[in-house]
Amino acid sequence: MLKKTVLAFISLIGLSLIPFSQSDAKSLTHPVQAGESLYSLSERYGVSKTSIQRINELDTKMIEAGDTLTIPASISAEERELLASLVYAEAKGEPYAGKVAVAKVVLNRVDHPDYPNSVHDVITQVTETGHYAFSPVLDGAIHNEPDYESRKAVNEAITLRGQGQQSLYFYNPATATSNWVSTREQTIVIGNHIFAR
């Protein structure tokens, strides 16, 4: 009875009064109100302006009241730590810029429709063919304590989320076991890693 009453009340006042709703695990939808900007939404939800633009395929920084935007999910402290562990395992000994780029690959996948919707699920993804997306999950290196530089690289990647070449892959050609990744469009080379999309 209470549930029916609440639903009837919401119908009466209109859904427009609800500031956002969960659309899936990775994002929220937000009806734009008068006076809001990408900057204010960025501050409110803790995500970059660029990532809001990218996920909504906006060609401009201008938004209008009445628009409904998808807001990428912010990154929890636990996911930051998991991402730092991945960066440490994958890019130990690589230049700092390479560590940032590895973290950005994960964030780009979170924002991409072909990949899982959270940092955790992207990192722990196992493909339909039984392959792990990231070898440190398979070999256990993901459980090693990340260093300061890896954590710093993750924070920088989150700040830059949505910017750059939009790389979805990285590999070391000297150790890669799959030729498929080398067929992808190369975006940048940093240290021993080739980044691609």
Q: What share of the chain is helix, strand, coil (3-state, %, to 5)?
A: 45, 15, 40
State residue 173's pLDDT score.
92
Q: Tokens for 121?
A: 């699920």
Quick: pLDDT tens for 146-189.
Answer: 999 999 999 999 888 878 899 999 999 998 888 888 899 999 99
Give, in degrees to the nearest 5, the angle at Cα 39 between 105 and 34.
130
Rounded (10°) CA dihedral 41, 83, 57, 30:
-30
Low-confidence stretches of the chain (pLDDT beneath 70): 1-27
pLDDT of residue 79: 95
What own/partner pairs with CB < 8 Å and gap ≥ 24 does 92-96 have?
92/150, 94/190, 94/191, 94/192, 94/193, 95/190, 95/191, 96/149, 96/152, 96/153
Q: Would you state the pLDDT for residue 26?
A: 55
The DSSP line for 77-139 is HHHHHHHHHHHHHHHTTS-HHHHHHHHHHHHHHHHSTTS-SSHHHHHT-B-TTS-BSSHHHHH
Tell me how far apart the alpha carbons of residues 106 and 195 are, in angstroms, rounded to a whole number: 12
